[in-house]
Chains A and B, each alone.
Chain A
Amino acid sequence: MSVKQRFDVVGKPRRRVDGRAKVTGQTRFADDIVLLRMLHCKLLRSPHPHALIRSIDVARAQAHPGVRLVITGKDFPITFGILPVTQDEYPLAPEHVRYVGDPIAAVIAKDEQTAFEALDLIEVKYQPLATIGTPEEALATDEPRIHGYSERGNIHRLQAFEFGDVEQALAESDHVFEDVFFFEGNTHLPIEQHAAVAALDPDGKLTLWSSTQVPHYVHRALARTLQMPAAHIRVIACPNGGGFGGKTDICNHEIVVAKAALTLGRPVKICLTREEVFYMHRGRHPVLMKLRTGATKDGKLTGMHLQTLVDGGGYGSYGVASTFYTGALQTVTYELPRYKFDACRVFTNKPPCGPKRGHGTPQPRFGQEVQLDKIAERLGLDPAEFRLNIVAKPHSLTANWLKIGTIGLAECIRQVVERSDWKKKFRELPDGRGVGIACSSYLCGAGLPIYWNKMPQSGVQLLLDRSGQVTVFCGATEVGQGSDDVLVAVVAEVLGVDPFDVRCVTGDTGITPVDLGSYSSRVTVMMGNAAIQAAERLRELLADAAAEQLGVSPERLAFARARVFLAEDPSKGVSFREAVEVAEAKFGTLGAVGSYTPPKAPGKYKGAGVGPSPAYSYTACVVEVEVDKSTGWITVPKIWIAHDIGRSINPVLVRGQVEGSVYMGLGEALMEEQVFRRLPPKLSNAFVHKIPSMLEYKSLTSLDMPEVVTMLVEDPDPNCPFGAKEAGQGPLLPVMPALANAIYDAIGVRIDELPITPDKVLKALELKAKGLTPRVGPDRFPNVPYPEPMLVPPPWEGGDGNAIKEPGKSPLKKRTEAVAS
């Protein structure tokens, strides 16, 4: 960590380093790449949600004028998948299709139009299989199996953990609350459609440019599926035109164009249509959840039992991790002495779900925060005061063994309460108007990499030359969030130069050190720490040489405004360029590397790898609503949000991340849903996407967006670069429950499922008018065959982070002793 106290770059609002490129249209996105002799690729996708492929005849397509190549599943014998435990996808499905849109063949032609026409000439004979459309159907249907490797039937994964005796805790509680919630799936909808270009380099090696958030993982998947040495493959992540998690998976088309370029010796490009982006998906999992929570009469939580049923779609994707995340972070916001978590992910014949902003955590966060609202009401407590009273303790361990650092949540709650005039509004506004509050927390980077290894998660390389030029290299990927700006700002701050004077090269596996990618809100913390280490190593060399030149000791030197000078007498010093010259003369060519590995997590039980993070960000949000009781229409005039950022590197960008999260969260709360319907039998009975277009997939426009008041709370975290936490995901989480809670304040009805649409509001008002429970939401939670839980005592019950009982195993003697001691 840098000891610098006064900052020249960090914390100052600045034009981002790539701002000019973006406003001049010069940012080169993947589909903007045009290479000489480039060909174009289109994919043939399954029209059936579930079928076996009997035969594929490509002869007519192959003979179509302008077609250069047709490839099918037989060209790709090896599977891939983002997680090592679910390598379950083929670049082109050879025999079994699992959702409408599953790719089965590719045409490469002289132009896009020709390739598109030739798709129609491919003759495929299918044998349709029964469609598994919902989690309930998946639980009830063992055959046909969507995947042979599932735990049983169409249950992909079952997980169960218990941290302390929750049943006992609930039995001893003054009140026990039981609620069932549903969060509908939704998709990322980046404005940029996925695109990729593959080409052979002059030396015969392969380069792939792609709109990916994870070039390192794509690099590994290409080496695996193409059976080539990774050193002969270069993956360049183009700046993404929005990602939100939608470009964190390995995509079929990336492997297909790479194979085509290798086969033809010519560049091959693909750009998905908007409809195809809806099929690519990997978005928010639909989650049904049941929460049983105990509370004392004075408003302390005693224990929680959370059960989730996760609708995975047709493939594994990030699903095993997503499923863990539906339970992993329930403990880091509020004090929770005991916790039990059961989860189940099923396969269904729909586009695969994966990580979307908040990855697995927004769904249970919605349930938890709405339930807290109900608890506060029953206990007669103000929901803001209630939350303030139970905020988790900084620098503590949670029941499931997560290590929390700084927590700015209490201050966040105070600020949104103050700015929104909460005390004058809550339960005080006229009928039809209301306010709601909710809080959240999120990771600042997943503690473990996706594949097991002991290497750093982020690497940075720095070069200096005698002209004073600073160049920084890092595998991190710019998806719009401003990672290039963070990288440059950190280096500029440490070396005391202007950010504009630092060149930055990122997201290129051919020339940048490995960074795992833009996901899990990891980049600022991991890349930032690696960059500080590299820059401090170089600063040491510069200080050493400059001190010799000036005849002083190196520790008395300061670096700022492109000068190296005596801290107590700034007039005595040299320019940065001169410092580089004397250092290059003294030490030779100047370069340094830095790397970052997160701290080891205290949890040792199997499954403890999901949830740990170097730090957690916290957010509090107040939403104000107006509900038209005759139409059910919901208007949101204003939102107040306070985010615990640790420290802002560039406040302009932090605010943008927070407000973008509010926007996306509000869309999920009010309208966004990735839903499906069965075609009538006369049309094939297929299970299809209801709305694969931007017009019909509703999202907020500029007219729908409320005024947002953003507050940044700064409580620097020692694990973070200059104390900076994440901002890209956490602030989305409280928006949905705050909206639901505001609707209750406005009209006295509970909508326990998302999105909250006017028809649901009207239905609830109708129930209220009839004197029935004014609630719309799932009625029941199905019988899910959860296994016996793994028992892990929480830290305050003598645990050491190990399980004392694992399902299917006899109690572990040694560990039991450890707990007893």
Chain B
Amino acid sequence: MNAVVKQDAPTRRNVHMRWLVNGEEVDVSFAPYKTLLEVLREDLGLTGTKHGCELGECGACAVLVDGEPLLACLALAVECEGRAIETVEGLARGPELHPLQSAFADLGAAQCGYCTPGILMTAKALLEHEPNPSRERIKDAISGNLCRCTGYQQIFEAIEEAAERMKDSVR
């Protein structure tokens, strides 16, 4: 151990655990004060998940934990042992985009693209629960995800388009 580590408080020593991230088991080691968001971005290199406030206000960091949307900036990483975590990096199947991703790209639902990963994950959870949501349900589902670029119209349309494309692929 070098001198710097010796001076660190015990609470700063890394904890080790095993997570299921995007369908793969990963061993992760991180400082125990870190949030899920910080561990995803800083310790696992999954920088696709974004941050806009770190206070649970903007929705940019939404990921799926056990299939449900969760603001990663408000979740302590130590609470995630054994949970299944899905991030935007896990959406595509190999080179093939998820229907939400292709619809967002085609219909202008991603302008700067910064809120996009959080909205994609939130919309994925919505479509898994409700394959054919109304416009009102879509508005409601993403009301915790702020977007400053689009005015939301093209996002609503992309989610509706993705729902159609997913139905077609099921048929």
- In the assembled complex, which residues on chain A have CB atoms less than 8 Å from the CB atom of B4? 65-66, 110
Q: Which residue from chain B places its CB closest to the CB of A653 in the assembled complex?
A: B108
- In the assembled complex, which residues on chain B have CB atoms less than 8 Å from the CB atom of A28? 47
User: Does chain A have a CB within 8 A of B64?
Assistant: no
Interface residue tally for chain A (C-beta within 8 Å): 59
- Please measure, in the bound complex, the distance between the C-alpha atom of A735 and the C-alpha atom of B143, giving whole angstroms: 22
- In the assembled complex, which residues on chain A have CB atoms less than 8 Å from the CB atom of B120? 23
In the complex, how many angstroms separate the beta carbon of B118 from the nearest chain A beta carbon? 9
A24 contacts B148, CB within 8 Å? no
- Please measure, in the bound complex, the distance between the C-alpha atom of A34 and the C-alpha atom of B102, giving whole angstroms: 28
- Please measure, in the bound complex, the distance between the C-alpha atom of A694 and the C-alpha atom of B53, giving whole angstroms: 7
B55 contacts A191, CB within 8 Å? no
Interface membership of chain B positions 121-156, coded 1 if the CB is closer than 8 angstroms to chain A and 0 otherwise:
000000000000000001110111111111111111
Q: Which residue from chain B places its CB closest to the CB of A66 in the assembled complex?
A: B4
Interface membership of chain B positions 1-35, coded 1 if the CB is closer than 8 angstroms to chain A and 0 otherwise:
00010011000000000000000000000010100
Interface membership of chain A positions 36-47, coded 1 if the CB is closer than 8 angstroms to chain B and 0 otherwise:
000000000000
- In the assembled complex, which residues on chain B have CB atoms less than 8 Å from the CB atom of A25? 47-49, 87-89, 116-117
A694 contacts B58, CB within 8 Å? yes
A656 contacts B112, CB within 8 Å? no
In the complex, how many angstroms separate the beta carbon of A193 from the nearest chain B beta carbon? 7
B108 contacts A656, CB within 8 Å? yes
A19 contacts B106, CB within 8 Å? yes
In the complex, how many angstroms separate the beta carbon of B73 from the nearest chain A beta carbon? 11
User: Does chain B have a CB within 8 A of A244?
Assistant: yes
User: Does chain A have a CB within 8 A of B110?
Assistant: yes
- Please measure, in the bound complex, the distance between the C-alpha atom of A695 and the C-alpha atom of B42, giving whole angstroms: 25
Q: Which of A168-176, A467-475, A496-504, A700-708 contacts B (4 or more CB under 8 A)?
A: A700-708
- Please measure, in the bound complex, the distance between the C-alpha atom of A241 and the C-alpha atom of B117, giving whole angstroms: 12
Q: Which residue from chain A places its CB closest to the CB of B90 in the assembled complex?
A: A25
B101 contacts A24, CB within 8 Å? yes
Q: Are A701 and B52 also in contact (CB < 8 A) when A23-B110, A663-B152 are?
A: no
B50 contacts A23, CB within 8 Å? no
Tell me which residues from 686 to 713 in chain A have a Cβ below 8 Å from any Cβ of chain B. Answer: 693-695, 699, 701-703, 705, 707-708
Q: Are A659 and B154 also in contact (CB < 8 A) when A25-B87, A701-B146 are?
A: yes
A21 contacts B108, CB within 8 Å? no
- Please measure, in the bound complex, the distance between the C-alpha atom of A286 and the C-alpha atom of B82, giving whole angstroms: 52
User: Does chain B have a CB within 8 A of A685?
Assistant: no
A705 contacts B153, CB within 8 Å? yes
Give which listed residue, A191, A273, A693, A707, contacts B115 with CB less than 8 A: A191
Q: Are A24 and B48 also in contact (CB < 8 A) when A16-B105, A191-B114, A480-B112 are?
A: yes
Tell me which residues from 35 to 80 in chain B have a Cβ below 8 Å from any Cβ of chain A. Answer: 41-42, 45, 47-55, 57-58, 60
- Please measure, in the bound complex, the distance between the C-alpha atom of A188 and the C-alpha atom of B112, giving whole angstroms: 14
In the complex, how many angstroms separate the beta carbon of B114 from the nearest chain A beta carbon? 3
Q: Which residue from chain B places its CB closest to the CB of A28 in the assembled complex?
A: B47
Most chain A CB neighbours (cut-off 10 Å) among B60, B101, B117, B147:
B147
- Please measure, in the bound complex, the distance between the C-alpha atom of A25 and the C-alpha atom of B87, giving whole angstroms: 9
User: Does chain B have a CB within 8 A of A242?
Assistant: yes
- In the assembled complex, which residues on chain A have CB atoms less than 8 Å from the CB atom of B145? 702
Q: Which residue from chain B places its CB closest to the CB of A650 in the assembled complex?
A: B108
In the complex, how many angstroms separate the beta carbon of B169 from the nearest chain A beta carbon? 17
- In the assembled complex, which residues on chain A have CB atoms less than 8 Å from the CB atom of B42? 34
Most chain A CB neighbours (cut-off 10 Å) among B111, B151, B154:
B151
Q: Are A480 and B53 also in contact (CB < 8 A) when A23-B120, A66-B4, A113-B33 are?
A: no
Q: Are A660 and B146 also in contact (CB < 8 A) when A15-B106, A242-B114 are?
A: no
User: Does chain A have a CB within 8 A of B84?
Assistant: no
B150 contacts A656, CB within 8 Å? yes
Q: Which residue from chain B places its CB closest to the CB of A26 in the assembled complex?
A: B48
A701 contacts B143, CB within 8 Å? yes
User: Does chain A have a CB within 8 A of B166?
Assistant: no
In the complex, how many angstroms separate the beta carbon of B135 from the nearest chain A beta carbon? 9
- In the assembled complex, which residues on chain B have CB atoms less than 8 Å from the CB atom of A694? 52-53, 55, 57-58, 146
- Please measure, in the bound complex, the distance between the C-alpha atom of A780 and the C-alpha atom of B63, giving whole angstroms: 52
User: Does chain B have a CB within 8 A of A32?
Assistant: yes
User: Does chain B have a CB within 8 A of A482?
Assistant: yes
B97 contacts A192, CB within 8 Å? no
Q: A18-B113, A707-B153 are in contact. List 16 more A-B contacts (CB 8 A).
A: A21-B113, A22-B112, A22-B113, A23-B104, A24-B92, A27-B113, A34-B42, A242-B149, A480-B114, A652-B106, A656-B108, A663-B152, A664-B151, A693-B53, A694-B53, A702-B145
16 A–B contacts from the bound complex (CB under 8 Å): A16-B105, A20-B105, A21-B113, A23-B120, A25-B116, A26-B48, A191-B58, A191-B112, A241-B115, A274-B53, A481-B111, A652-B107, A652-B108, A659-B151, A663-B148, A702-B155
Binding site for B on A (CB under 8 A): 15-16, 18-29, 31-32, 34, 65-66, 110, 113, 188-193, 239-244, 273-274, 479-482, 652-653, 655-656, 659-664, 693-695, 699, 701-703, 705, 707-708
